[in-house]
């Protein structure tokens, strides 16, 4: 319709209305029914795998942040590699499995696996190429300027080459096993993510065989980076790659034959463990059997030196049953994550993060009796800005205290020789009843957890593996102590794992209390895990898979009712992932009703913010910095009487519906403190990435005249000694 016709229609409509009014006739106007937006529509959701991949890209971007120390920028570059490895091992492998067996599982975004894989390839190809350009054109030159050199074999002088030759003969040759390919020597089974070389040979071996090809698996026991003696080099740190040494002396592995070419490659395999829970009789035994197969799952990715001849790449593709779109040609080492060893080979504190000492609240620092402190006040800690030591001290004191009669603990990722485990062992040997719920299926920690279970059992602990089909992800410690004629329960609840190492790297809340109702609730959750029975009603905790999900939906609806009643409506959610469709629809509904929503989502986020009349009241940001953001916090304004929760659960299907999780409310000064710290993250303007409705992210920058504000830096300065 032309502009003229629109104007004419308006004129005619106005005239008709005037005519009716002049006749004093009141027309009956039927209200136009608004068609409600279908909040299940696929265009309202971002694909989970692509969102996950975007998080890895944000990690890569940290390597370009010149505000970070140089070696820390290198670590971000290498973490991108290790993250991408896991992404292919699990997420890409799952998409390929669905295609292979014709069981395509389409999420709320309605993207089929084939399309997802195409987009993954597109994003990975661009960013893997960027990664190697950053390494070669920025990282290596900047490190060399600081005296950290990676010596190429073409640049070794005579003395250096003599030293490398001796190293090869003494340290590498005795343990390496080259394999010539012929009918009696088929292509070897290569371990997942191992460094290997494919070699072109010319000539005949001692048996008269003329194979043409060989494989050299690099032993995993050998370091990938080797430090050359200082006296042979310029001042500084001089390193060589194991791959350079093998390349240089590959001829020595095939006496009498000529090596025409030697090219490194690496295979990434499906590393997800799968078994039928209905068939399991002994979970530990089943896992032990599956762990070996993880090393030899179906290939999902081939990384090759970009100088490799196409005919050799074709040989590898055929051997591993891979397509061209699963091959990545790279300009550098194929196993970049092993470069992390550089941290232990050089001493440049000026190129690392400035060290800090985590803070300890006054009472926990000056008083030794943690039980006495908790009888007076709850304690809330934010790691790594505040020390994890008080949590260890609580358990250590319980292990020695003759009045403590029982300890119950969940363990997800801990480590066999951690302080936590040592205290549990000591407690059991001191005659206390120690029950430990170990989640054997914590991905990539299964083997460690099996060893952990054996150690605890040998010490006399009662070890259970939770509930088959539901991972135990809750972070709970329960200590029962005899005080006079009463039994008093002391609890620790957390958002992160009982691991002192990750407590220095991950942000997590720890809550310690002697609250009677909380103690009873934790006791009931342990009963559900170790025994059998109906769901027990909890007073102060919410737990998945029973009440946590429903409680979140209920609280969102409560915010809607408050806004409709003219009260404040505000939701703040800080989690690692937001993918559960019902929770996303709840947030969309709240946004439509006028509730202000701030989401701090580190990784995957399926929700699209900023959609007109759907999510225009929602803002999503992702904080990427020195520490891995790991806290899970839920805030609801509740009409001026805020409700604040911490939890072990992200807003994902697996956490809310298929895991054992806990959510616990904080009140008073502890709640006020968490709200203040959430506000720090919402003010962050230098490590905060804002999500747009198209799924892209933009790094926020201070506006003109605005000071830089880093939430992590402010928390360090507030709580720790820097």
| Main-chain dihedrals φ then ψ at residue 660, nearest 5 degrees | -95, 115
Q: Could you tell me the CA-to-CA distances from 526 to 245, 362, 468, 550, 666 in Å, in that order?
A: 55, 32, 15, 21, 21
Does 161 show up as a binding residue in the annotation? no
End-to-end Cα distance, the chain: 68
DSSP output for 174-214: TT---EE-BTTBPPPPPPTT-EEEEEEEES--TTS----EE
DSSP state of 223: -
Calpha distance 551→599 (Å, rounded):
18
- Within 10 A of 308 (CB to CB), how many other CB atoms are there? 19
Calculate ∠ Cα 241-245-249, nearest 5°: 165
Q: Residue 563 corresponds to which tokens in the numbers above?
A: 């806004």
Which helix (H) or strand (E) segment holds residue 666: the answer is strand 659-666
Is residue 182 a contact partner of residue 253, using CB atoms and an 8 Å limit? Answer: no
Does 602 show up as a binding residue in the annotation? yes
Calpha distance 39→36 (Å, rounded):
9
Cis peptide bond upstream of 545, omega within 30: yes
Q: Residue 587 corresponds to which tokens in the numbers above?
A: 């947030």
The residue among 416, 497, 396 whose CA lies nearest residue 457 is 416
Calpha distance 105→579 (Å, rounded):
15
Counts of helices then strands in the chain (DSSP H, E) = 22, 27
Which helix (H) or strand (E) segment holds residue 680: the answer is helix 668-683
- Within 10 A of 122 (CB to CB), how many other CB atoms are there? 12
Is residue 597 a contact partner of residue 618, using CB atoms and an 8 Å limit? Answer: yes
Does 413 show up as a binding residue in the annotation? yes
If 0-12 CB within 10 Å is exposed, 13-18 middle and 19+ buried, where does residue 221 land?
exposed
Does 443 show up as a binding residue in the annotation? yes
List the catalytic residue out of 473, 492, 549, 570: 473
Does 492 show up as a binding residue in the annotation? no
Calpha distance 676→669 (Å, rounded):
10
Is residue 613 a contact partner of residue 686, using CB atoms and an 8 Å limit? Answer: no
Our answer to whether residue 348 is catalytic in this structure is: no
Q: Residue 218 corresponds to which tokens in the numbers above?
A: 């690099």
- Which residues lie below 8 Å from residue 378, measured CB to CB, with a gap of 6+? 511, 512, 513, 514, 515, 670
Residues in the annotated binding site for Mg(2+): 413, 443
Q: Which residues are catalytic?
A: 473
Residues in the annotated binding site for ATP: 83, 506, 602, 630
Residues in the annotated binding site: 83, 413, 443, 506, 602, 630
């Amino acid at each position: 319709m032309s502009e003229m016709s629109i104007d004419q229609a308006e004129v005619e409509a106005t005239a008709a209305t005037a005519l009716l009014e002049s006749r004093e006739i009141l027309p009956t106007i039927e209200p136009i029914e608004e068609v409600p937006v279908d909040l299940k529509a696929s265009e309202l959701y971002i694909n989970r795998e692509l969102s996950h991949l975007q998080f890895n890209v944000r990690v890569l971007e940290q390597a370009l942040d010149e505000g970070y120390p140089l070696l820390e920028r290198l670590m971000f570059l290498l973490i991108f590699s290790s993250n991408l490895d896991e992404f292919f091992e699990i997420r890409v492998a799952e998409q390929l499995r669905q295609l292979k067996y014709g069981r395509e599982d389409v999420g709320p975004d309605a993207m089929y696996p084939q399309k997802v894989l195409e987009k993954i390839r597109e994003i990975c190809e661009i960013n893997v190429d960027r990664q190697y350009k950053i390494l070669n054109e920025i990282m290596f030159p900047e490190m060399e300027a600081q005296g950290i050199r990676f010596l190429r074999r073409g640049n070794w002088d005579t003395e250096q080459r003599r030293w490398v030759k001796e190293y090869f003969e003494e340290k590498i040759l005795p343990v390496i096993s080259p394999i010539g390919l012929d009918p009696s020597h088929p292509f070897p089974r290569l371990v997942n993510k191992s460094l290997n070389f494919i070699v072109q040979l010319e000539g005949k071996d001692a048996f008269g065989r003329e194979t043409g090809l060989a494989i050299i698996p690099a032993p995993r026991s050998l370091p990938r980076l080797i430090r050359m003696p200082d006296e042979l080099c310029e001042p500084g740190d001089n390193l060589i790659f194991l791959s350079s040494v093998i390349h240089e002396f590959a001829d020595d592995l095939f006496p009498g034959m000529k090596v025409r070419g030697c090219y490194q490659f690496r295979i990434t395999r499906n590393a997800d463990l799968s078994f039928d829970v209905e068939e399991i009789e002994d979970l530990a035994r089943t896992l032990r059997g599956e762990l070996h197969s993880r090393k030899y799952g179906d290939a999902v990715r081939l990384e090759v030196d970009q100088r490799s001849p196409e005919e050799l790449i074709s040989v590898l593709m055929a051997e591993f049953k891979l397509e061209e779109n699963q091959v990545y040609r790279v300009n550098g080492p194929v196993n970049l994550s092993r470069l992390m060893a550089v941290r232990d080979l050089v001493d440049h504190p000026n190129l690392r993060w400035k060290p800090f000492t985590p803070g300890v609240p006054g009472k926990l620092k000056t008083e030794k009796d943690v039980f006495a402190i908790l009888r007076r006040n709850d304690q809330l800690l934010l790691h790594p800005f505040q020390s994890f030591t008080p949590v260890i001290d609580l358990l250590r004191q319980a292990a020695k205290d003759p009045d403590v009669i029982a300890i119950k603990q969940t363990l997800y990722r801990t480590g066999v020789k951690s302080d936590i485990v040592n205290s549990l062992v000591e407690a059991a040997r001191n005659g206390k009843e120690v029950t430990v719920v170990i989640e054997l299926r914590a991905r990539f920690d299964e083997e460690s957890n099996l060893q952990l279970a054996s150690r605890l059992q040998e010490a006399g602990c009662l070890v259970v593996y939770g509930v088959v089909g539901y991972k135990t992800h809750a972070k709970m410690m329960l200590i029962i102590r005899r005080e006079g004629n009463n039994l008093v329960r002391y609890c620790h609840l957390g958002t992160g794992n009982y691991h002192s190492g990750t407590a220095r790297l991950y942000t997590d809340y720890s809550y310690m209390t002697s609250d009677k109702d909380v103690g009873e609730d934790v006791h009931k959750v342990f009963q559900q895990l170790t025994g059998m029975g109906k769901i027990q009603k909890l007073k102060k905790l919410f737990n998945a898979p029973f009440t946590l999900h429903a409680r979140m939906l209920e609280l969102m609806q409560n915010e809607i009712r408050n806004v409709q009643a003219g009260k404040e409506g505000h939701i703040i959610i800080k989690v690692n992932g937001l993918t559960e469709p019902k929770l996303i629809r709840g947030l969309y509904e709240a946004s439509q009703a006028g509730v202000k929503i701030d989401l701090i989502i580190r990784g995957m986020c399926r929700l699209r913010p900023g959609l007109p009349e759907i999510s225009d009241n929602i803002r999503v940001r992702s904080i990427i910095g020195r520490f891995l953001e790991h806290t899970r916090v839920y805030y609801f304004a509740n009409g001026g009487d805020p409700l604040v929760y911490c939890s072990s659960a992200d807003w994902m299907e697996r956490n809310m519906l298929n895991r054992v999780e806990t959510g616990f409310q904080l009140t008073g000064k502890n709640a006020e403190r968490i709200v203040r710290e959430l506000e720090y993250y919402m003010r962050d303007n230098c490590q905060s990435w804002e999500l747009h409705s198209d799924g892209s992210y933009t790094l926020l920058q201070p506006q003109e005249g605005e000071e830089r504000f880093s939430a992590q830096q402010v928390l360090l300065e507030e709580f720790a000694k820097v």
